[in-house]
Chains A and B, each alone.
Chain A
């Protein structure tokens, strides 16, 4: 570790730039958010009034908030469940002994460069009520014309599909890297012992992959909670009937649109706790793996 023992001050200088940014723009603002969550701005003038836990209590009693909470969770579970399943299957197939494996591994990467807004624009064309290809196809099959401006299910599916799509490149790339780290000897040993490839996957590959999976669950949670904002703001504006008004969109509306900073701050703190739980799970899983290995 200590390769330059005579330099006592230098290491502090080296971490100073990062640390300054972290303290000034992360830790302090976050502390302020926690502080503000116990206050309210009075309607006249810009005075802060201490309200204790009222912002939190009212939040959890508000049907609007609870339904936003529920929809955010459903959305996140779908983005993670559907997205990671497709990505893992693709990654497993591209790491088989086939010709052109390297080509496929690169060929899926590029959705990583797309922004959530671009994903939203492209998929809203496919879902477009008048000319969308999917709208036509569904109308031909069932006689029903979907319209995501008014149909809550269609809007929800639209934002979910666009999100799963935009995360595919990243997810596949990580799964491919994770799969390539699974030692061949272990898989061979298992098949020599008579395990089918299905069993080898569940007994050897999948557990060895768990740090990668946990990391991707974390990244996709962050996407579903935060990055999806652009997609929502541009394509559905939280509608129809607030179905896609996910937590981050609600914070933005309450904090900046309705000037309810205290209430928005309380929502931010809850969102932070949710992310922290998933983050802690990820750290737990990756430390467990190193024990597993040694």
Chain B
């Protein structure tokens, strides 16, 4: 059997893509394999590449070592609060920028865009002092409020609201609806894709934050998931119990992965919307 040129091209593409996929997935697979073995098997030579049966005991051990319920709970709280807060703040601002003509909007819009240029680390020391002055160290306020403005969110909703036909707003106005009623009962229901996309972006972002939580929290009951992972990892250095470390890693990486997988379509659509100017 001879392949046509087109078939051959297709075959090569599949092979290249599958090989790349295997290479990209390997670190996670290997971490999973590690998490299923005893300490002794983790150090076996040649390395064992098939899963064992120690996953649950290892997870239990990792869970106890870093107070997993505390760090997961904290990360969940701040990731949900910041995601929801950013969604609401961004919708309101995007609504203002697309549905109203007001003095100073030419200045306010670029001002909202500068957040992108000033990532938190650039202002970390004064911001820390602000938190200390407000008495917010070791509180959820410090872990959430400085994050609430979102360039990405405002752009995402603005792009979409600019495409909504003007007749919708006109009709609502003729029916006597106030702008906020129009926003709540017409615009927001149309925005679910963007809301889900922003939820993924911000949930993943907050769950993975480390520098700032590391600076504003010292109390053990305020630690977040990434700090838990660091503690698990560094405390085991030397005799590295890779099976326990990887069991903890799997637990900590799961929540953002679930959110991403649940809303992957909306996330991809949201990204497509961001790339069309």
Contact = CB atoms under 8 A, between A and B. Distances in A.
Most buried by A among B14, B45, B93, B112: B93
Interface residues of B, number: 98
Interface string A158-178: 000000010010000110111
Given A93-B17, A180-B272, A25 B226 contact: no
Q: Is the interface of A mostly helix, strand, loop or mixed?
A: helix
Contacts of B31: 121-122, 125
Contact of A12 (B102, B150, B214, B230): B102
Nearest to B269: A177
B272 A275 contact: no
Interface stretch (B54-62, B63-71, B166-174, B188-196): B166-174
Interface string A27-41: 111101100100000
B95 to A, nearest CB: 6
A3 interface: yes
B115 interface: yes
Contact of B100 (A11, A17, A290): A11
A234 interface: yes
Interface in B235-277: 240, 242, 245-246, 249, 252-253, 256-257, 259-261, 264, 267-268, 271-272, 274-277
B10 interface: yes
B154 to A, nearest CB: 7
A181 B273 CA distance: 10
B3 to A, nearest CB: 14
A254 to B, nearest CB: 10
20 contacts: A1-B101, A4-B173, A7-B100, A10-B96, A10-B100, A11-B96, A14-B95, A17-B93, A18-B148, A26-B149, A29-B126, A32-B126, A113-B259, A113-B260, A118-B249, A131-B43, A168-B24, A174-B275, A265-B125, A272-B118
Nearest to B101: A2
B121 interface: yes
A130 B47 CA distance: 11
Contacts of B277: 211, 286, 289-290
Interface of B: 10, 13-14, 16-17, 20-21, 24, 27-28, 30-31, 34, 42-43, 45-47, 88-90, 92-93, 95-102, 105, 108, 111-112, 114-130, 145-146, 148-150, 154, 166, 169-170, 173, 179-180, 182, 204, 207-208, 210-211, 214-215, 226, 229-230, 233-234, 240, 242, 245-246, 249, 252-253, 256-257, 259-261, 264, 267-268, 271-272, 274-277
Nearest to B242: A125
Interface in A84-111: 86, 90, 93-94, 96, 98-100, 104-111
A119 B226 CA distance: 12
Interface stretch (A53-61, A62-70, A222-230): A222-230
Interface size class of A (residues with CB under 8 A): 35 or more
Chief secondary structure at chain B's binding surface: helix
Nearest to B256: A113
B245 A110 contact: no
Contacts of B166: 3
Given A2-B101, A29-B130, A108-B24, A252 B124 contact: yes
